[in-house]
Amino acid sequence: MERNLALIALFAALIAALGLIPKFTLAFGVPITAQSLGIMLCGTVLGSRRGAMAVLLFLLLLALGLPLLAGGRGGLGLFVSPSAGFLFGWPVAAFVTGFIVEKWRGGSLAMVAGIASIIGGILVLYVFGVAGLAIILKKSAYEAALLVAAFIPGDIIKAVLAGMITAALARARPQSVLSRA
Amino acid sequence: MISLTSPVETRAHRWPAGAKLAALCGATVVLFSQESLGFHLAVFLGCLAVYRLPGRRFFAAGMRGLRVLWPFVALVLVWHLVIGAMVEGAVVVLRLLSAVALANLVTMTTKLSAMIEVVRWLAAPLRRLGVNTRALEIGIALVVRFTPTLADKGAQLTQSWAARSPRKPSWKIVMPFTVLAIDDAEHLAEALKARGGLNQ
């Protein structure tokens, strides 16, 4: 119980801290907002329920008015902005990602976690994100999808990284990778 | 950690947080149910006037909060210029600006402690049902406490990277960063247990 709470709270803080550390760039100069990588890691490391709870705790603190989103953003306004769909999709994305890692026991963890991140952290997340954009900006789902398509290649790279990082964590701290515990 | 509450004390700082949140919900529903340009123009001008009331500093901070919306505003306006439906585009943009402005207004005039009080109040029915809501309260406090700590450790990691490599820090620091968070969590769990745990 205490351990679950501590891991959930620390991963919520990790998502926030990933938005505060200096940005780093990928091989091709693609800037990467590490926070969505944090969402994927919540699922792949903590598993479905605890991963989703860590993301929910992070969102609650955002709503309470703490500037935890990359760029020092926060507050209730985020939840009615055009990108609100992505925020609402985050806990679901972490849940689905974690669920796949929990159930799919064959194969290497790096591959499984990477594919789970693509399904949960991209496919599921973008359904919410595109729906949010379509509702707030009054566009069709197709038009809204065009607006965000440019971010998908970067997110696929992040999903691959999430897989590699998860596998490395499983070697460094095997008892703490709860999705496989 | 500093919350987004405005340091400029306004009259609304003293209003009950629950009432402000309920009013915000109502206002957002109304905003999304109306389609007339006149209505949305009036609401947006009203928002600007309210932001201006507490003075120039408050107004400037409020406008900074809306800055993230400009790409969307520009996009929608250009889009609707191209398809020749400017009135509809203006309604979408004004509604977006007003909705975010009103929500930010609640955030700017409500202290973190008052917000947490609302969460406690909302969780009260769960408590009566026998759910232990202490975990939620401790969880909130832990995130507030550990975000700056972890951010410090992240900054140290990027510094030690910079001391050893001419290249910019890469994604590779996320892995040790996550290990640090996991280790902190395990120590924290022990400390929580040692102090009697969550069931008090």
Domain boundaries defined on chain A:
2-178
The neighbour count for residue B135, using CB atoms within 10 Å, is 18
Examine the domain organization and report whether B183 and B96 are in the same domain.
no
Examine the domain organization and report whether B65 and B152 are in the same domain.
no
Examine the domain organization and report whether B27 and B68 are in the same domain.
yes
Of A11, A14, A73, the CB nearest to B68: A73
Percent of chain B's residues with pLDDT above 70: 98
pLDDT at position A129 over 80? yes
Examine the domain organization and report whether B71 and B142 are in the same domain.
no
Nearest-Cα distance to chain A for B111, in Å, is 8
pLDDT, average across residues B119-142:
86
Is residue B186 domain-resident?
Answer: yes
- Of the two residues B182 and B172, the one the predictor is more confident about is B182
3-state helix, strand, coil in chain A (%, to 5): 75, 5, 20
Look-up of token digits 């809204």: A144
Mean pLDDT for chain B? Answer: 89
Instruction: Please report which confidence band the pLDDT of residue A118 belongs to, taking 50, 70 and 90 as the band edges.
Output: very high
> CA dihedral defined by B36, B40, B41, B44, rounded to 10 degrees?
180
Is residue B158 domain-resident?
Answer: yes
Residue B131 phi/psi, 5° resolution? -75, 140
Run of H or E residues at A32? strand A31-32
Is residue B177 domain-resident?
Answer: yes
Nearest-Cα distance to chain A for B104, in Å, is 5
Please state which CATH number belongs to domain A2-178.
1.10.1760.20
Examine the domain organization and report whether B138 and B178 are in the same domain.
yes
Domain encompassing residue B52: 11-111
- List CB contacts (< 8 A) between B76 and chain A: 137
Nearest chain B residue to A19 by CA distance is B151
Over residues A49-66, the pLDDT tens digits come to 999 999 999 999 999 988
Contact A25 B144 (CB under 8 A): no
Examine the domain organization and report whether B71 and B137 are in the same domain.
no
Is residue B188 domain-resident?
Answer: yes
- List CB contacts (< 8 A) between A78 and chain B: 103
Examine the domain organization and report whether B93 and B158 are in the same domain.
no
Is residue B59 domain-resident?
Answer: yes
pLDDT at position A71 over 80? no
Over residues A132-154, the pLDDT tens digits come to 999 988 888 898 898 888 888 88
Nearest to A22 by CA among B163, B121, B154: B154
| Cβ of residue B155 closer than 8 Å to a chain A Cβ | yes
pLDDT of the residue at B21: 92
Nearest to A134 by CA among A116, A153, A148, A118: A148
Is residue B199 domain-resident?
Answer: no
Over residues A22-53, the pLDDT tens digits come to 665 554 444 456 888 999 999 999 999 999 99
pLDDT at position B30 over 80? yes
pLDDT at position A70 over 90? no
Its sign, for the CA torsion A102, A104, A105, A111, is negative
- Burial class for B158, CB neighbours closer than 10 Å (0-12, 13-18, 19+): middle
Nearest chain B residue to A3 by CA distance is B189
| Residues 6 or more apart whose Cβ sits within 8 Å of residue A153 | A30
The number of folded domains in chain B is 2
Is residue B4 domain-resident?
Answer: no
Examine the domain organization and report whether B49 and B104 are in the same domain.
yes
DSSP code for A69: B
Nearest-Cα distance to chain A for B31, in Å, is 11
Is residue B149 domain-resident?
Answer: yes
ipTM (interface pTM): 0.89
Q: What does the alpha-carbon distance between residue B143 and residue B123 come to, in Å, rounded to a whole number?
A: 18
β-bridge mates for residue A32, sequence order? A24
Examine the domain organization and report whether B106 and B161 are in the same domain.
no
- Burial class for A181, CB neighbours closer than 10 Å (0-12, 13-18, 19+): exposed
| Cβ of residue B69 closer than 8 Å to a chain A Cβ | yes
